[in-house]
């Protein structure tokens, strides 16, 4: 996998998918139909003021390319409402998570130490962070929520 740097703070998901799909970012922008820069929430500071991207937009891109975009939660929970808080499903979450990471490449979504949402590419043993660096998983500035492995149709 080749490191691709995102050109702005709202394109980390775009750059991450460009890495795992081995496609130029402009090609993905053309397929999706926008570059994420449109101001949707002008009262917020960048990058939150921009449209950005939704994971489902990349699901469409992957399907057109003969790939299935998987969905793996870092920690499985059930429930969750005002009356009933979510409950963690018992199990070895770390073992489950590691088995997916060992066997697949894809995109990891999560939260940085400063609380911002972020996306990185994963290639079975290293994180390719579109902010411009390649690191070991334990050195990444990311608390993962979900992993989206790429699978062939």
Task: Enter the pTM of the model.
Answer: 0.92
Per-residue confidence (pLDDT) for residue 116, from 0 to 100? 92
pLDDT for the residue numbered 94: 87
Residue 78 pLDDT: 86
Q: What is the pLDDT of residue 70?
A: 95
Specify the pLDDT at position 92: 86
pLDDT mean for each 10 residues of the chain (153 residues): 94 97 98 96 93 96 95 87 83 88 95 94 94 93 94 87
- Residue position matching structure tokens 């962070």: 129
Q: Provide the pLDDT for residue 39.
A: 95
Which domains does the chain carry?
A: 12-152 (3.90.70)
pLDDT at residue 80, as a whole number: 73
């Amino acid at each position: 996998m080749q490191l691709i740097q995102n050109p702005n703070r709202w394109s980390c998901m775009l750059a991450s998918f460009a890495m795992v799909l081995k496609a130029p970012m402009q090609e993905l922008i053309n397929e999706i139909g926008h570059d994420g820069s449109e101001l949707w929430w002008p009262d917020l500071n960048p990058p939150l003021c921009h449209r950005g991207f939704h994971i489902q937009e990349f699901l469409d891109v992957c399907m057109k390319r003969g790939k299935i975009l998987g969905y793996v939660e870092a920690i499985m929970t059930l429930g969750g409402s005002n009356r009933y808080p979510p409950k963690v499903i018992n199990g070895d979450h770390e073992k489950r998570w590691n088995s997916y990471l060992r066997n697949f490449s894809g995109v990891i979504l999560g939260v940085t130490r400063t609380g911002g949402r972020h996306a990185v590419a994963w290639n079975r043993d290293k994180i390719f962070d579109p902010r411009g660096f390649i690191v070991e998983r334990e050195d990444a500035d990311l608390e993962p929520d979900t992993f989206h492995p790429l699978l062939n149709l």
